Amino acid sequence: MHDGQLRQGDVLARRYILRQPVGAGGMSVVWRAWDSTLERTVAVKVLDGPVGTDGGQRDRIRREARAAARIEHPNAIGVYDYGETVTPHGRIAAYVVMQLLDGVSLAGRLAEGPLPSVDAVAVAATVADVLHAAHRRGVVHRDVTPENVMLTTDGVKLLDFGIAADVGQRDTLTFGTPPYVAPERLVGAPASGSTDVYALGVLLFEMLTGAPPVQAGTWDELERAVAADHRPTLNVPGLPPAVASVCLRCLATDPTERPTAAEVAAILESSAERGRRLWVTVLAVVLTASVLAGLGYVWRDGARHDAATPAPSVSIVVSIPPAVTVQPPPGATPSPTRGRTPSPGASSGTPTPSLSPSAARLTPQQAGQAVLDVVSRRSAAGEIRSDVVDDIRNQVNNLMAVPPDAAQRIEMLRRQLLDRRREESITTAAAYEELDAAVVVFGASLT
User: In DSSP terms, which residues pair with 93 in a beta bridge?
Assistant: 85
Catalytic residues: 143
Q: Are 167 and 192 in contact (CB under 8 A)?
A: yes
pLDDT at 61: 78
Which sequence spans correspond to the domains of the chain?
11-98, 103-267, 276-445
Q: Which helix (H) or strand (E) holds 165?
A: strand 165-166
Average pLDDT over residues 21-47: 88
* 404 φ, ψ (degrees, to nearest 5): -65, -25
Average pLDDT over residues 308-335: 41
Q: Which helix (H) or strand (E) holds 149?
A: strand 149-152
Q: In what order do the strands lie in the sheet with 79-86?
A: 11-12, 16-25, 28-35, 40-47, 92-98, 79-86
The CATH superfamily assigned to 11-98 is Phosphorylase Kinase; domain 1 (3.30.200.20)
Q: Are 22 and 32 in contact (CB under 8 A)?
A: yes
Task: Give the C-alpha distances (Å, rounded to integers) separating 429 from 14, 29, 156, 396.
Answer: 47, 45, 25, 21
Q: Are 81 and 97 in contact (CB under 8 A)?
A: yes
Q: Is the pLDDT of residue 45 over 80?
A: yes
Percent of the chain surpassing pLDDT 70:
76
d(CA 200, CA 34): 34
Q: Which helix (H) or strand (E) holds 126?
A: helix 117-136
DSSP letter string, 3-67: T----TT-EETTTEEEEEEEEEETTEEEEEEEETTTTEEEEEEEE-SPTT-STTHHHHHHHHHHH
pLDDT at 277: 54
* 276 φ, ψ (degrees, to nearest 5): -65, -40
pLDDT band at 387 (very low <50, low <70, confident <90, very high): confident
* 347 φ, ψ (degrees, to nearest 5): -135, -25
103-267: what CATH class?
mainly alpha
Average pLDDT over residues 4-17: 88
pLDDT at 92: 83
d(CA 162, CA 220): 24
**74-90 tens-digit pLDDT:** 899 888 999 888 888 88
d(CA 432, CA 32): 35
Range of lowest pLDDT (137-146, 335-344, 395-404): 335-344
**220-273 tens-digit pLDDT:** 888 888 787 778 889 899 999 999 999 999 999 999 999 999 999 999 998 877
Average pLDDT of the chain?
79
Strand, helix or coil for residue 236: coil
Q: Give the total residue count for the chain.
A: 447
pLDDT band at 4 (very low <50, low <70, confident <90, very high): low
Task: Give the C-alpha distances (Å, rounded to integers) separating 259 from 68, 165, 221, 268.
Answer: 23, 20, 26, 12
pLDDT band at 281 (very low <50, low <70, confident <90, very high): low
**165-181 tens-digit pLDDT:** 889 888 766 677 899 99
Comparing 331 with 21, which gets the higher pLDDT? 21
